[in-house]
Amino acid sequence: MSDKTKKKIDVKPIEDLAKILDDLNLTEISYSDGDFSVSVSKATIAQTMSPTSTQNKNEQVENLETDYKNDPRAIKSPMVGTVYLQPEPGANKFVDVGNQIKSGQTLLIIEAMKTMNPIESSLQGKVLKILVENEQAVEFGQPLMLIG
């Protein structure tokens, strides 16, 4: 960019995203609206775990990200937020492993900025695996479920 076309940066959206990043304990967050987009990320420190918990944690991380990121059966999170697998505390889950799913059926809710967003299936088939837990923080594009 030349000096003549340089725009002043509006820091308000960046500050808002940084606050959401901290509130939800995330490492990265992005937002776009038309031709405007901004990403905020922060460095993280790896946690040291005991050998007994390492195996379980490694399996969870592997199941969440590595195996299913590009899987065509995966329903992915369209936003950053907190997952709710049931409509309200104490109620039955929207879906469970083995349930038959129709396209457009509500699978779970993601709360983002105090708004409850129903996440509907874009696929038809059977719930093969639920990759998230109730009240878990999720990031944009994170695999949530496998439908096959």
Asked whether 119 and 7 are in contact (CB, 8 A), the reply is: no
Taking every pair of Cα atoms in the chain, the longest distance, rounded to a whole number of angstroms, is 60
What distance in Å separates the CA atoms of residue 137 and residue 146, rounded to the nearest whole number? Answer: 18
CB of 140 within 8 A of CB of 30?
yes
Q: What is the pLDDT of residues 129-142, one digit of tens each?
A: 999 999 999 999 99
53 pLDDT band, cuts 50/70/90, is very low
Q: Are 132 and 112 in contact (CB under 8 A)?
A: no
Give phi and psi for 114, each to the nearest 5. Answer: 65, 15
Q: What is the pLDDT of residues 56-89, one digit of tens each?
A: 444 444 444 456 888 889 999 999 999 999 999 8
The total number of residues shown for the chain amounts to: 148
CA distance 38 to 144: 24
Which residues are within 8 A (CB) of 50 and not within 5 positions of it... i.e. 6 or more apart? Answer: none
Closest by CA to 95, choosing from 109, 79, 82, 81, is 109
This prediction has a pTM of: 0.55
In this structure, is the dihedral angle defined by the CA atoms of residues 100, 133, 30 and 146, taken in order, positive or negative? negative
Mean pLDDT, the chain, integer: 79
pLDDT given at position 42? 67
Domains and CATH numbers, the chain: 12-41 (no CATH), 71-147 (2.40.50.100)
Tokens of 37: 């987009």
Cα distance between residue 98 and residue 103, in whole Å: 16
Distance in angstroms (rounded) separating the CA atoms of residues 122 and 105: 8
Mean pLDDT across 96-120: 93
